[in-house]
A and B are shown apart, each in its own frame.
Chain A
Amino acid sequence: MRLRKRLTRCLPAASILLVLCGIPAWPQNQTPPATPSQAATPPAAAAAPSLTAPLALKDANPPSSDDLAKGDPGGTLTGTVNDVAVSDAKKGLTLGDAVNQIGQNKVAINFVWTLVAGFLVMFMQAGFAIVETGLCRAKNASHTMMMNFMVYGFGLFAYWVCGFAFQMGGVGATANLGGTAPLSSEYTVNFLGKTWGLFGTHGFFLTQGGTYDVAVMVLFLFQMVFMDTATTIVTGAAAERWKYVAFAISTFFLGAITYPFFANWAWGGGWLSQLGANFGLGHGYCDFAGSGVVHAVGGLTGLAVAMLVGPRLGKYNRNGSPNAIPGHDMVLVLTGCFILAFGWFGFNPGSTLGASGNGALRIGSIAVNTMLAGCTGSFGALLYMWIRYGKPDASMSGNGLLAGLVAITAPSGFVNTVGAAIIGLVAGVLVCLSVEFFDRVAKVDDPVGAISVHGANGLWGVISVGLFADGKSNYGGSWNGVPGSVTGLFYGDPGQLIAQLVGVATLLGFVFAASFVFNWVVDVLVGQRVSPETELEGLDVPEMGALGYPEFVLKVHREQAPITGIGAAVEATT
């Protein structure tokens, strides 16, 4: 039955294919049924080609075995009708085989696109690691790198156990991936006369609920690297004083609970995505690639942890005035920014979950928007710092690039290039203002600017969808179940801006609060902050047992913090 539906859907495309191959899909002299009265008559259906009838292969001019034996240096003989999978070898190629191959080709293109985009996003972990490490002091290099390294493992494990199920367990079929139908169970409650999706219940361990499925695996990989991006943001905000065990527990919670819940509400068919269908607010909360879901979640969790652990020793004087604590390697920082900008081409264009069908060809526009916003973001930050302090600051230029990329992440699929450039420029200035605010007014110590880059600009990106979405995108005719294109306030739909603001309030009121409460509990149970002695010593030896840069070993006071673990083993052999 399913095969029959699939074949029926593909019939028009197959007809076009046959016409191109010189085989008439309909008799030349027949008029296609157009009116209801005509449609009631059977002749058209009777004339439809049989899907099981063998096709005449000679019309496709397949290359002979002799031709193929000579090789194909020009690439004109490879990939022909001979490569179409045949379901019944005795019968030979049928129309059904041809249309099935068309469908599989579409899904294959989308699988490859989504996987490669996911691989790019995974590589962003390297970018985050060296940006954060470069912005920290050399005595904490190993600790900072190890947080960024193991965040991948801790987060992945938590997400595999339950995070993915909570997030995507009720998302339903994903058209571009040709399936994910087993992800069909969303826990909902009835409230205010509407149905509110809260979390998914299929996909625990990627086996429960029939989720041992190829399309589910592709979706898992892509969503997992997004979650890992959120978790790695937190390590920057709490760097140089965060106890490693507290970091491990906190990361597990973020990957298992906080991130998946908000991501379900935004992407998994949850209540935020249904604000359009339920309350008439545009297309509901729209976050194309995760300014809110990924970056604001990471940035706000970072704010919660940074508050709990407090500022680094020496960051503030007794009168509250801040001291600059420069990072140890600007080359690492800017190289990491470039790696992140490269990975962002997986982040945003990859979020179409395909390159074929349902408006996915917009990937070109999304990639250019991403590029432009990063450019104007670094430009805005550079200009601000140059005008205000007289020098074009390198680290803030890097943060400006990242801020522009963060801000364009949510709107990248819905705006034009002018909107993207403005969004990025605002982000570049906003990150500088935000860094100054947290540094001087709020006195929240954030060594790498993660709260400003990802938190503040994540929220700005969410809001900018409600302002700049131009109503030109069309991903299969609807978004979040609402027909038409996402349109912001500047293009005539104030409801979309309201939906985005509800999302902002949810990020502040739910994500921050949940992260704060959990990390507060961790603080009570195991402590979030290392001892002052450890902090002064540098976290590398006391926490990790080895220095990031062994040449600096003479600066370590062995009596206070003896080298342990692998570091001790290395010492013993030298």
Chain B
Amino acid sequence: MKITGLLLAIVGWLIPVLGLSLTSSNAARLTLCLIGIAVCLVGILGVLNRAFLQNAIWKQ
């Protein structure tokens, strides 16, 4: 889970970066940026953090 979250964060970064050469349309680039940021946030807060919460110290 932790590695999946981390990989999602990195993939989310690469989406807008690689998208720069796929299109020169501002709308398309903007969309790719927003998708990338969303993937990053899901990876960090949705997956990685959830993995930590499963074994949180206050549950023990």
Contacts and interface: CB of A to CB of B under 8 A. Distances in A.
Top 5 A-B residue pairs of the complex, sorted by shortest distance between their CB atoms: A509-B13, A501-B33, A508-B40, A316-B58, A192-B21
B57 A508 contact: no
Contacts of A498: 26, 29-30, 33
Nearest to B48: A307
A498 B24 CA distance: 11
Interface in B3-23: 6, 9-18, 20-21
Given A320-B58, A443-B53, A443-B56, A505 B33 contact: yes
A204 interface: no
A567 B45 CA distance: 41
A280 B20 CA distance: 10
Given A502-B17, A512-B9, A313 B44 contact: no
Interface range for A: 35 or more
A16 B36 CA distance: 55
Contact of B49 (A315, A317, A442, A504): A442
Given A508-B37, A509-B14, A516-B6, A313 B57 contact: yes
A303 B44 contact: yes
A209 to B, nearest CB: 29
A311 B33 contact: no
Interface of B: 6, 9-18, 20-21, 24, 26, 29-30, 33-34, 36-37, 40-41, 44-45, 48-49, 52-53, 56-59
Interface string A442-454: 1110000000000
Contact of A517 (B6, B16, B21, B58): B6
A513 B6 contact: yes
Nearest to B24: A280
Interface string A489-519: 0000011011001101110111011001100
Of the listed residues B16, B30, B37, B57, the one surrounded by the most CB atoms of chain A closer than 10 A to its CB is B57
A310 interface: yes
Of the listed residues A308, A318, A498, A504, the one surrounded by the most CB atoms of chain B closer than 10 A to its CB is A498
Contacts of B12: 505, 508-509
B49 A508 contact: no
Contacts of A512: 9, 40, 44
Contact of A307 (B11, B14, B49): B49
Contacts of B16: 501-502, 505
17 contacts: A279-B21, A279-B24, A313-B57, A318-B58, A443-B56, A444-B49, A501-B37, A504-B33, A505-B13, A505-B40, A508-B41, A509-B12, A509-B13, A510-B13, A512-B9, A512-B40, A516-B48
A193 interface: yes
Nearest to A323: B58
A497 B26 CA distance: 10
A121 interface: no
A320 B57 CA distance: 10
Given A311-B56, A505-B36, A506-B17, 12 more contacts: A194-B21, A279-B20, A307-B48, A311-B58, A442-B45, A443-B56, A495-B26, A501-B34, A504-B33, A504-B37, A505-B40, A509-B11
B26 to A, nearest CB: 5
Contacts of B53: 443
A494 B56 contact: no
A512 B47 CA distance: 14
B58 A494 contact: no
Contacts of A171: none
Contact of A513 (B9, B26, B33, B56): B9
